Amino acid sequence: MILGNTYHLHFRPGDDVIAELGGLHAFCGWNGPILTDSGGFQVFSLRDTLLAVDDDGVTFRSVYDGGEARFTPELVAGIQSNLGSDVAMCLDICPPACVSRAELEEAVRRTTLWAARQREAERAPGQLLFGIAQGGTDDELRRRSLAEVTELDFDGYALGGLAIGESREAMFETTGWAAPLLPQDRARYFMGIGDPEGILEVIARGIDMFDCVLPTRTARTGSALTWHGRLNLRNARFAKDARPLDTDCACPACRRFTRAYLRHLVNQQELLGHRLLTLHNLHFVLELTAGARAAIERGELDRYRTDALARLAAGAEEETASPL
């Protein structure tokens, strides 16, 4: 998502209304790329809502009204067609990291089954369809899923089932050997990573695009992503801090406002504070990934990653040692 400046949406009911209004681009007033998830992660991450899972699809209770809802590959394809997104993700099963191998194997089997069916379903004109490889950190099952999904010949591919509770070391190790097994001429998408260090690490391992709620959720909790580490603006030490969030940042929050003022907005629960922190966090991550893209074009990604990680670490140490 961030490397491609893509607008990533988790859809809600009402796709027919959006279709009548011209699709998501017209509905949101956004002329950039839009990626829609299938809802698979949302359903299986809220396991207490599950009512039944079978080879045809999944039945669950809606978190909005408690009503019974049903997803099948064909129904999901129809919703995403109505939404008119540029990239549609296949319906998959994303089990938590703690499941048994038997459950993980069943998730891989059904993910492939559903991907094959969704590939044959109708989609919006020009809409790209991405398959998702599951398998957790299990070497054999991950390789099996990669082989089965790539055999279906999708427009792009995602590594799903990572960053869901396994260790960071296992996540990076799996990404390191799995990403090169995906076709080199198709987009490779890591589902669910958004911290600066993590972004740099997965890019270095061959990932092209990714999504995560971290930059915006962190902003809503009053924290900023900076070259000085993550700053919790609720902290009293920022009450008289006249510096911007990040002196090298050109976002609206850093150009005009101090840490002290932003802290005031956050502590008073003013929406402006959360909006400014959201703009800052997104700007920071976009600049970080723009630098990575430029480094790739120069053939200097390893140097960029090493320098950026060192700068993040040094900035965090400097911030911790600051008397303010």
**pLDDT, tens digit (0-9, with 9 covering 90-100), for 186-204:** 999 999 999 999 999 999 9
Please check whether residue 187 lies inside any domain of the structure: yes
Q: Give the global pTM.
A: 0.89
**pLDDT, tens digit (0-9, with 9 covering 90-100), for 161-186:** 999 999 999 999 999 999 999 999 99
Q: Which pLDDT score is estimated for 323? A: 58
pLDDT interval class at 2 (50, 70, 90): very low
Please check whether residue 1 lies inside any domain of the structure: no
Q: For residue 192, give the CATH number of its domain.
A: 3.20.20.105
- Same domain assignment for residues 223 and 197: no
> To the nearest whole percent, how much of the chain has pLDDT over 70?
94
pLDDT interval class at 321 (50, 70, 90): low
What value does the CA radius of gyration of the chain take, rounded to a whole number of Å?
Answer: 21
Q: Which pLDDT score is estimated for 317? A: 63
Answer whether residue 1 shows pLDDT above 60: no
Gap between the Cα atoms of 20 and 83, Å rounded = 10
Which residues 6+ apart lie within 8 Å of 324 measured at CB?
237, 238, 240, 241, 243
Strands 34-36 and 7-9: parallel
Answer whether residue 93 shows pLDDT above 60: yes
- Same domain assignment for residues 259 and 302: yes
- Same domain assignment for residues 23 and 73: yes
The number of domains in the chain is 2
pLDDT interval class at 6 (50, 70, 90): very low
**pLDDT, tens digit (0-9, with 9 covering 90-100), for 264-314:** 999 999 999 999 999 999 999 999 999 999 999 999 999 999 999 999 998
Answer whether residue 5 shows pLDDT above 70: no
Q: Hey, which residues does 230 pair with through a beta bridge?
A: 225
Q: Could you list the residue range(s) of the whole structural domain that residue 194 is in? A: 7-212
- Same domain assignment for residues 253 and 119: no
Mean pLDDT across the chain, nearest whole number? 92
Asked if residues 129 and 155 have their Cβ atoms less than 8 Å apart, the reply is: yes
- Same domain assignment for residues 201 and 227: no
Indicate which residues carry an active-site annotation: 37, 211
- Cα angle for residues 85, 88, 89 (degrees, 5° grid): 155
Strands 209-211 and 187-191: parallel
